[in-house]
Every structure is written in structure tokens, then in C-alpha cells.
Structure 1
């Protein structure tokens, strides 16, 4: 079954094809007129050329509008808010979202080194507002961490050390107040994509070989199929890692 945009494109092409054939027919038949009908011949050719030119413009315009409409439909359906060339560019948006957080923060990452160094006070305040924070990272004893160091061109053991520091950081936050709702869980598999959810915003991006995590392309989703997809994905992983 054709989609609405496909039907619209088919209708536009059909109308355009018919009118182009009409204009070509008018030009062709005008060439058959005797010499004494030269004025009528010129009028018919002029009308046909106008129709042809109008249809070419209409076709090009409709194709552009249909492509723009399809892009808008995809963006709206998936809730795509932005695409960032690097994760460091995305951090500007995540910082704004974090400052306004009221309910939930969910993270899939490695050691969150720069995040811990710059956001510790803010995270403590966020927890104080009753926000729930869930962090999912690779187990510090996983053999896969050697591959992570190699892929990101890090000194062997760097990722493990960063994860151990993350564990200590979470423990310290929990010790400061029994009311702090922050929890960390571990998986032991191939590294997952970076995932950062703040209330109704989700930020995701891959880990790429030869690039630091802050230099990889990343995406932002709000309410939509993209948000639902990633949110459901995290929930399943979180439960599997009890």
C-alpha cells in the first residue's frame, strides 16, 4: 500500500505527464498547419510552450516540497531535535537540560571523567531535588576494557581506572545523604552506545574506533519514536543488569 506522500507524488507526476503530452501534441500539430495559418500556428506554439514551461516549474517545485514534507514528517515522528558533529558540542544542550531536570537522569557511559570533574556539585544539588539518577557502565573487571582502551587510543587500564573512580564517586554521593536516589549497575558485553536521558530529552551517540568519545557524532531526541525506542532500550538493559 502506498503512503500518502507516494500517492501525492504519483498524482503530481501523472498530471505533469499528461499536460506535457498535451503541450507536445499542440506543438506537433501546429507544424502541420498550411502557411496561411501562420498566426494561429504561432499562437498554438506559444500556448504549448507556456504550458510546458509551467509544468516543468510545477514538477520541480512539487518534488522539492514533497522532499521537504517527508523530512519534516520523519523529524516530527522520531522527535529529532538536533544532530551534533561532536559530543562536546552536544554538551551545551545537555548542560541546559540538566540544570532544568525535575525527575530522571539515565546514563550509559564509561567513567564519565569530565562529567564528574565539572558537574559534581550540580549533580549533588539535582539529587537534593529528588531526582533519580541511574548509571549503567561496563564492569571494571571486564576483559573488554582492553579493547576499549585500544579503540580510543588510550593507555592500557585507563578506562578501568576511570570506571573505578566513577564507582567511588557514586558511593560518595550516596554517603552524603541517605535520600540521594543514585544507583550504578554493570554489564559485561561489547560497549553500548553513549546514552544520556534528562526527563523528556535523550542524547545518544556511538563510540568510534580511533576517536575519543567527545569527538563522535551525537543525536538529540525529544518526545517521539526515537525517545521511546531509546528509553525502552535502557529500561530493558537496566533490568537485565540487576
Structure 2
């Protein structure tokens, strides 16, 4: 469930990346084309972006559907950014509602999103939750499976793991305790990492070295989009894109 997208490259507006494409994330909130679980993504949305000269991203999140938020259209039109992460949410059964449950989650310079669901939430995940120190577990932003995954990834990041290591370890820890769909997306504004685990993921570069996109599904029919194999880790940055098996 959910759809998400991340971008790194030259300055663009969120409108150019999310709204104007014919099958962009905005449209995916009510008419996703390749979503396997759920039919609409109307349980909240979020946008996180980086301003030049500031490594700490800004966020705009709401509890309702993206198409019902009049302010988003203005923000998407006037912001220009070299890096963003955006998501539209289809809530997992048993997870909290509200703005704090909408991705992207954030800490310091990092932004994080989860497309999927963790089986056994919440009662069957005591052993997984026990991997976090109690103080970090209590500090989770929302009572959701996605927030728990973010807590696990953040614990690794704070211990010195890079983006890819943090996501790979989070998937491994989760898979050792339960099953689920674990498509994770993480950026620090300079590089990004993503996992394909149980749901769709694609990437492409924009013409003329204009940037890199990673998304749950393509926002148009350009053949430049490449599907990421299931159970893979994608890394993207100034040196290009690499994909390896998890």
C-alpha cells in the first residue's frame, strides 16, 4: 500500500515531478496503475524537500488526500529543490490515522518512507520492536508499522550506517521476525537508497544528466523507466545508480 517518489538533481518544482506528469504521484492517489494492494491512497500525504544551503529538510504533511488540499498546489508551484521525497498513503489496518502517520518521516538530515505493510502488526511484532532501545521505541512519531521500520533504520543511521546499510539491515531484521512488503525509501538530500521487497519499484534518469528519479511506479510511459527486481537494494547519487540483490 502507498506510493512514493524521490528525486535528486537540478532545481525543479514539486509540481513538475508530482502533479504535471500524466500518471504522477498526485494522480496515483486516486488512480495508481500498478498498485497490487489497495485501490486508492487517500489516507494522507507528505512532501519533504531540501533548500540550498540547509541540510535539514522541510516537510508538509496532511491527514487527508492530496487532491483535497488547496495549499499543496501553491507549495508545489513555487518551491524549487534539488532533492525531495514525497508519498501518498493507504493506511494499513490497525495503524494510527493522522498527519504524524504520513510519510515522509524525518530526523536530522534524513527523510524516510515505507510502501507496504508489516504482517502481524501490532500484536505479533514484540520481538521486532524489542530490537529498539525503550527510549527510541517510545519516541516513535506514530503508532504504525512504517514508523517502527523508520525507528529501526534510524537506529542504524545513528550508529554510523550509510543509507544502503541502514535499509538492508532493517529489511533483514524485519524478515527475520515476520513477513511483509518492505519497499523502503531513504535520502539525506545528497544520495538515496531504496528497497524493492514485495511491491513495485522503478528508476530513471532525466535527459541531459538532469537528475534521477526512484518511484513506486512510472509517472509517464517513457521507456527510460527501469523496473527494479524484487528483493533488491537500489543506491543512487552523483555517481549514478546501482542495484544489487538483498
TM-score, length of structure 2 as denominator length: 0.24
Larger Rg: 1
Bigger strand share? 2
Bigger helix share? 1
TM-score, length of structure 1 as denominator length: 0.24
